[in-house]
Amino acid sequence: MNDTPPGTKSEYSSPRRANQASAAGVETAPARPPVQSRRARPELARGLRVGILAGTLLGSLLLIVAEFTTLFEVHVATTVHPIKTVTAGSHHSYALIPIALFALALAVGVVRDGSRPTLLAIGLLGIVALVIALVADLPDANASGLAGSGVNHFVNASSNPSIR
């Protein structure tokens, strides 16, 4: 049984015969382009790109400013004034500045190319900054213990979060 549609000849149905037919001057149907296996990914809207850039710019600016603010002050019961003031940057070796700058560079890439993996990388950088704040900074901002030395005597001290 032959499954060729009416009006076509089985001799032209194979690629080898079609090439022979075209060499002989017989006109055949044009070949279809190959089907692409990857789906076209949707582009990010221009307004969304600008919003991502603005949000990343604001977040990066806040991370940089936070590095130079006071994280906590250490107080003892005998004085009103703090005996030590610690800034956020000195507490975790200014780790948030490279994160902020890298996030800005990635945001420019999102605006220019609309790359979704780059957008994911910005989110991961935000998570890294959050982990630094929660794991490295928060426990020391609410710590208590002894301060002083054997010569000057030890006194109870506590640290309190502060913004200055």
* pLDDT for res 120: 94
Domain ranges (residues) in the chain: 46-161
Q: How many Cβ atoms are within 10 Å of 56's Cβ, its own excluded?
A: 23
Q: Report pLDDT for 1.
A: 55
| pLDDT value for 116 | 87
What local confidence, expressed as pLDDT, does residue 115 receive?
84
pLDDT tens, per residue, the chain with 164 residues: 556 566 655 555 555 555 555 556 655 556 666 655 555 556 778 888 889 999 999 999 999 999 999 888 888 888 888 888 888 888 889 999 999 999 999 999 888 888 889 999 999 999 999 999 999 888 888 888 888 777 777 888 888 787 76
